Structure 1
Amino acid sequence: MIDRGELIGRGRTSDVYAVGRTEAVKVPRPGVPAHWAQIEAELTIAVHELGVPTPAVRDLTEIDGRPAIVFERISGESLWTHIQRHPENAAGLARELATIHTRVQAEQAPSNLPDLQARMCTKIDQAHQLDQAERVAATALVRELPSGDALCHGDMHPAPRAAHQPLKGDV
């Protein structure tokens, strides 16, 4: 078990805490399924091994009785914070983020990654804020998407990326 430090990030489903200067721990909030951390760690490891610029997974642990992921810590303000402070850079940074997204999707997904359509359908089925008709309609739309073996980030937005991380380069 590790001691979490200062809160350095907050997302929709998790909080991120400093662990010294070189690591950070992502702790899912109550209500997030316990198996989520294991799945996220496996996906991140697989993508990192492809050479996609992502923080390395260092460990799986528990924080306050919840499974958590220890990552390599990337210091600096988030790209989103940078854009808010320097809106004049937004268009160029958005283009660079789109380029990264395109390059990620050009990669062939490792065979050990779960099927994206099946995963999306499961998440839709578990989205109880939607009524049954909305879940059926959303699932039908997902099933119409083309299948394939391209890598898909699934959550590519500027909030988790440090502004000083290179946006261009080998993916």
Structure 2
Amino acid sequence: MVHRLGHKIGEGGCAEVFEWEDGSKIVKLAKPNTVTAALEAELHHCRIASSCGLPVPQPYDLVTVEGRSGIVFERIDGETIMKRFVDRSVEQYRMQQPLDIREDFVNARITAQLFHQIHSHSVAHMPSQRENFKHNILAAQYLTETEKAAVIDQLDRLPMKQQLCHGDPNPGNILLRDNDAVIIDWNNASTGNPEADLAEYIIMIRYAILPPHLPHEAMVALDATREASIHIFMEEYENLSGIGYADIEPWIAPVAARKLIADGISDAEKKMLIDEIRRRLDTPYP
């Protein structure tokens, strides 16, 4: 069978996404910074999520296209929460409408519902969230060895759970199709504590600096609604699970430290994360 690579429809830090065959599928082709083993792991994680009945694109198989490894998935026709947020920000500015921070600008309720659904599953044959965190924290270049040891000590004192976690609750990873949400990019999935996913979301909303190619109006809207969005997200998740903000607080420093190895966040954002980690560790600045 001759595979047909169609139009490019998206791109992230580690892969490009193209139409595949008749257009009912997509292929996610790795960039040079992504090894085949990472794609194999993502395919495995997505298959487990699919077997749990979670709203994910149907995963098909690994392929090689012009020397590049890739994964074939079902194509989901929808828009990401990020795109909807950006479009809404620009439209409100164009219409000269004031921002109402009580509105759910980043679909935080839908995100909370989706992650509660994910966290309701316990699965086997998945990476250990805690071991992944320790590996990432030790690899972080921006902390001293003493700081890394202090963060890991804090992590070791936290209770251990065995629930399915996604690992990257980015609004760009959640597609909205009618009234349904579908979540993609399972490469960071693991078995561990839901509180880590929640801390990741809180840190991202609180500190994210949007890419410079996005309209300025989106950054203005994000800055105006950050804490209100976190409140909406946590209110919904706590109503569903009983897990509140106080349960997530101890996870902020370990998750922030783990994020320091990410390629997709700017040095300015990493500086804010370092400040947050050091404040929580009560470590004096050098």
TM-score, length basis structure 2: 0.51
Which position in structure 2 is the counterpart of 1:121? 134
Q: Deviations over 1:111-170 (max 9, x none)?
A: 11121111232334455x4456265455444434432111111112221322225039xx
Between the aligned partners of 1:64 and 1:90, the Cα distance in structure 2 is: 43
- 1:107 paired to 2:109: no
Q: Which has the larger radius of gyration?
A: 2
* Contact preservation (8 Å) 2:50, 2:56: yes
Between the aligned partners of 2:133 and 2:48, the Cα distance in structure 1 is: 19
Q: 1:76 to 1:31 in 2, by over 3 A?
A: same
* Contact preservation (8 Å) 1:25, 1:70: yes
Which position in structure 1 is the counterpart of 2:163? 150
Point out which structure has higher relative CO (alpha carbons under 8 A, 6+ apart).
1
- Please give the residue correspondences for 1:48-127 in structure 2 after superposition, counting only pairs within 5 Å: 48-87=50-89, 90-91=104-105, 93-108=107-122, 110-127=123-140
Between the aligned partners of 2:139 and 2:65, the Cα distance in structure 1 is: 25
The runs of 5 or more residues in structure 2 that have no matched partner are 93-102, 183-286
Q: Cα offset for 1:84? A: 1.3
Between the aligned partners of 2:9 and 2:153, the Cα distance in structure 1 is: 38
SS, match of residue 91 in structure 1? coil
What amino acid sits opposite 1:57 in the alignment?
Answer: P
Q: 1:80 to 1:140 in 2, by over 3 A?
A: same
Between the aligned partners of 2:68 and 2:156, the Cα distance in structure 1 is: 33
Structural RMSD (CA)? 2.6
Which position in structure 2 is the counterpart of 1:12? 13
Q: 1:137 to 1:2 in 2, by over 3 A?
A: farther
Q: 1:142 to 1:16 in 2, by over 3 A?
A: farther
Richer in helix (by share)? 2
TM-score, length basis structure 1: 0.81
What amino acid sits opposite 1:150 in the alignment?
Answer: Q
Number of corresponding residues: 166
SS, match of residue 64 in structure 2? strand
Q: Cα offset for 1:42? A: 0.3
- Percent sequence identity is 25
